[in-house]
Structure 1
Amino acid sequence: MGRNGEVEHGWGRASFVEEMGLLWEAVGSARMDGRIIGYLIVTDAPYVSSAQLAEALKVSAGSISLATRRLVEAGFVKRHAVPGERSRYFRMEDDVWGSFLAGERRFLEEQRQLGEKALELIGDEEEGPRRRLQNMIDYMRWIQGAHRELLANWKAYRRAHHPDVPAAQESPAPFRPGPDEPAAPGAAASGSDAPDASGLASEQRRSIALGQALARRLVPDTVWQAAAPLLPSSAQGERAVLTGVVHVLTAGCGWQQLPGHFGVSPATAHRRFTAWSDADVWERLPAAAAPEDRAWCTEIAAAARKRRGRRDA
């Protein structure tokens, strides 16, 4: 065994980091995000700075900034404050997977509430939209019940297999629905008709949920309010398209790698990016943004310039 856990002429920590990046890339996420996750999993340091990550992974500070922002917002990475230090530090909790599962439930609850709000706008005679919205609401209720089971089963599994782990290091308590949330259909079911909770925890579903959580944060309400007036009149309602474009720009992936859960085709995202670049949307965005969003919008603009500079948009 060599220094820092490396095996001479073999597989070591660096290999783990790179393969984590490839795995994340394979399911539609940014390779850099996976590399940072891998590095934070195997490092023995309690926390690391942006500069340390950039040096260890041999990438620019800008790449680290974009990736850590996505990971912090998704709940995979925590910011760590060091008194007297201006540098940004990051760490990973031991049970990051349980933490993410709890955060995912909060996102599902928001989707359920959104569906119910939209249902109030639909007339009784509009059978198609009502069916689709009701199905959305019922699905979110059902999967929320499965999440309660998953979190309880996960905590029980950890206690059984690692009884020496302090309770403070266990995954957080499950998200509790509000008083207006009815019991999730099938949550307490038993027998052959009960939901297969373990099947819901597949890698594909986790990847989709991660992308959805990121989509909500790539273009938050305040950024959309700043960007919408800059878009051509024909694109005033295309928040989903803008979100997909921002994902491609900040993740550094190709247009064909745009995940389907954004609801935007790669061709549409590419066309809008080109049109909005020609209209100087990206250059005007930072000045239009609120102070708290200006740094993020500046990073988006820089990524757009880089993409246009490659002439492969």
Structure 2
Amino acid sequence: MPADTSGATTRTPEGWDRETFVEEMGLLWEAAGSGRMDGRIIAYLLITDIPYVSSGELARALRVSPGSISLATRRLTEAGFLKRHAVPGERSHYFRVDDDVWGSFLAGERSFLDREERLAEQALTLLGPEEEAPRRRLRNMRDYMRYIRGGHHKLLRGWREYQEQHGQHPAPAATAEDTSARTGTDGGDYGDDRDGDGDETRGFSTQSPNPALAGRLVPDALWAVAEGALPPSPSKKERQAFTAVVYVLTSGCGWQQLPAHFGVSPATAHRRFTGWTKEDVWRRWHEAVEQERASGRCDARDAAWCALVTEAATTRATS
């Protein structure tokens, strides 16, 4: 895919163009004490129309070394600004930003505060009863993190209300994270699909996903094997559900962030994933695909993609 975007030569009356935006964001982040490269990457991904960009393409577009991109994307991913995106058949690291990148940052910052609080608690256990000064400092650290984390609940709730008041849908990233903190689930309460799939009655689109995307996520050869590994179901949308689950597993998004155009609701996708995991579908699918590859009936790239999906399913099931 091209590293640049359409309309890249457009300039404002003041002479601003996309490159100016990228550089100004970098300078702003640097002035705030963050990395200049971090700001440039965020700005580039915000203003590009490309859904996800590889680390190599970022290096070329920003005219920096791959090493600089690697370090910056790692920091940004850990902070919640960037999301990794897996592309079938590709080994390169791809990155994207949510529409609500700032809500994602708030969610990531809350995770950081949790870790800081736990670290303070652990350090307190190392102190003897006579070490009162460090004990006061560490208690202050712990309590400060608890106080700030409590404020994040109000911030995220207020942000969602602001979006609704201004005609926007609440941010999926912030909503899913905030709900998971209350319910202990990955993305919140998925409801009870009263019609079996729950897609039509809950306002989800019943159209199929983009055929090219669906074909990359679950090629025909892999679906032929997967279909035999799935437990019997009266639903006529199992391939759509399987494709939706594969998207969630390989994109790194939460279940509630599943795009509507996959034709199944987050509840349906999550329920299928849970059921298939209990039925050991992922292992059986992987083993069957490996047999197909050994006999020459399955492409090596498809087999590698199946292995990646299976690993992601195992990770998601145990996390």
Normalised by the length of structure 1, the TM-score is 0.51
Aligned with residue 181 of structure 2, among 176, 182, 190: 176
- Work out the CA distance in 2 between the residues paired with 1:135 and 1:88: 40
Return 120-129 or 94-103, whichever deviates more.
120-129
Which residue type is aligned with residue 154 of structure 2?
E
Aligned with residue 115 of structure 1, among 112, 116, 120: 120
Could you tell me whether the CA contact under 8 Å between 1:99 and 1:172 is conserved in 2? no
1:160 alignment counterpart:
165
Aligned with residue 140 of structure 2, among 107, 128, 135: 135
1:145 alignment counterpart:
150
Could you tell me whether the CA contact under 8 Å between 1:71 and 1:77 is conserved in 2? yes
* Identity among equivalent pairs (%): 62
1:6 alignment counterpart:
10
- The one-character-per-residue Cα deviations of 1:29-62 (angstroms, maximum 9, x if unpaired) are 2211111110000001111122322222122222
Could you tell me whether the CA contact under 8 Å between 2:54 and 2:94 is conserved in 1? yes
Return 113-122 or 22-31, whichever deviates more.
113-122
- In the TM superposition, what are the counterparts of 1:83-102 in structure 2 within 5 Å? 83-102=88-107
1:49 alignment counterpart:
54
Could you tell me whether the CA contact under 8 Å between 1:16 and 1:38 is conserved in 2? yes
- Work out the CA distance in 1 between the residues paired with 2:116 and 2:183: 14
RMSD over aligned Cα atoms: 2.6
Deviation, structure 1 residue 166: 6.6
- In the TM superposition, what are the counterparts of 1:281-292 in structure 2 within 5 Å? none
Task: Summarize the Cα distance change of 1:21–1:124 in structure 2 as closer, same or farther, 3 Å threshold.
Answer: same
- Work out the CA distance in 2 between the residues paired with 1:5 and 1:157: 34
Return 39-48 or 80-89, whichever deviates more.
80-89
2:39 is the counterpart of 1:34: yes
Q: Which runs of 4+ in 1 moved over 6 A?
A: none
Larger Rg: 2
- Describe the SS at the equivalent of 2:177: coil
- Work out the CA distance in 1 between the residues paired with 2:81 and 2:108: 10
- Describe the SS at the equivalent of 2:84: strand
- Work out the CA distance in 2 between the residues paired with 1:170 and 1:120: 33
**Residues matched between the structures, number:** 177
Which residue type is aligned with residue 115 of structure 2?
E
- Work out the CA distance in 1 between the residues paired with 2:101 and 2:171: 15
- In the TM superposition, what are the counterparts of 1:183-262 in structure 2 within 5 Å? none
Q: Return 5+ residue gaps in structure 1 as ranges.
A: 180-313
